[in-house]
Amino acid sequence: MNHFLDINRTDAAELRQIIEGARAMKDARNGRPRGMTDDETPLAGHMVALIFEKPSTRTRVSFDVGVRQMGGQTMVLSGADMQLGHGETIADTARVLSRYVDLIMIRTFEEQTLIEMAEHADVPVINGLTNRTHPCQIMADIMTFEEHRGPIAGRKVVWSGDGNNVFNSFAHAAGQFGFDLTFTGPEPLDPERGFLEEARAKGVNVTIERDPHKAVEGADLVVTDTWVSMHDPVSARERRHNQLRGYQVNEDLMARAKPDALFMHCLPAHRDDEATSAVMDGPHSVIFDEAENRLHAQKAIMRWCLGV
């Protein structure tokens, strides 16, 4: 069964197949109304459960639209609807859902919830985000980079900020797609070493550089993410701002990367915190292409999971 749980759990050749499938579907829709169903409807007759323990805009809309464009139907369930792990076990929830739907996408907090869902479901499960990883986002990011600059293999990607779940999936992708990765941020917010070591074991250069100006030298892509979560208390937000202020992606920082370097942010953004509006709206930025490509990448992931 083709679960899509993390980038490092999927064969590199199959990841490439997913990216190429996403590009083909995007090209095929060129100029067509956004609500129009694809001529080919590979998900016709399929029901997809979209589970959101953690709220979302882009993940919910992109999966929902993607399923509908491919002729399928969605059932959107919130954390309040499911009460995962509170009363009925995750294992039993997975077994029951498998009797009703053909595919499960879950956006949750704890990685263990995702793992248990996949272990006990009889249908494919997609990781829509956990506290540790965000693989669908990075598949869209790889697609976006390659649309603009060609193959990402051998390129230099620099992450500025917090070593969070999105960075972790970038580290997985570095090993699978063969690009170099530099993390620049304060030591208390370093990523888990295991993610770095796994990528290095696959032969790519993964480094930590405290000085952001040195880190971005020669960068083909500069990436950041929000400094605070919607769930963080006020005290944590203030501490994060103090820690990360020197890692803001601004025009001066981008000027030290390659002249044709791209800038990405998975959104939502706190403008003029982690990145300035001048960068987000500037010539290096591809953030809205990146957001759109969530739709196309996830359509390809769903097709791969279902083998259609």
Does residue 172 have an active-site annotation?
no
Does residue 136 have an active-site annotation?
no
Place of tokens 């002729």: 71
- Residue 252 and residue 243: Cα distance in Å, rounded? 19
For residues 274 and 268, is the Cβ–Cβ distance under 8 A? no
* CA nearest neighbour of 133 among 4, 222, 240: 4
Does residue 29 have an active-site annotation?
no
User: One of 134, 172, 296, 303 is an active-site residue; which one?
Assistant: 134
User: One of 137, 176, 248, 298 is an active-site residue; which one?
Assistant: 137
Does residue 134 have an active-site annotation?
yes
User: One of 225, 240, 296, 298 is an active-site residue; which one?
Assistant: 225
User: One of 3, 172, 265, 294 is an active-site residue; which one?
Assistant: 294
Does residue 266 have an active-site annotation?
yes
DSSP assignments along the chain, one per residue:
---B--GGGS-HHHHHHHHHHHHHHHHHTTTS-TTSPPSS-TTTT-EEEEEESS--SHHHHHHHHHHHHTT-EEEEEEHHHH-TTSSS-HHHHHHHHHTT-SEEEEE-S-HHHHHHHHHH-SS-EEEEE-SS--HHHHHHHHHHHHHHHS--TT-EEEEES---HHHHHHHHHHHHHT-EEEEES-GGGPPPHHHHHHHHHTT--EEE-S-HHHHTTT-SEEEE--SS-TTS-HHHHHHHHHHHGGG-B-HHHHHTS-TT-EEEE-S---BTTTB-HHHHTSTTB-HHHHHHHHHHHHHHHHHHHHT-
DSSP assignments along 96-112, one per residue:
HHHTT-SEEEEE-S-HH
User: One of 266, 273, 303, 305 is an active-site residue; which one?
Assistant: 266
User: One of 107, 132, 240, 303 is an active-site residue; which one?
Assistant: 107
Does residue 17 have an active-site annotation?
no
- Residue 117 and residue 112: Cα distance in Å, rounded? 8
- Residue 263 and residue 254: Cα distance in Å, rounded? 8
Q: Which residues are catalytic?
A: 107, 134, 137, 225, 266, 294
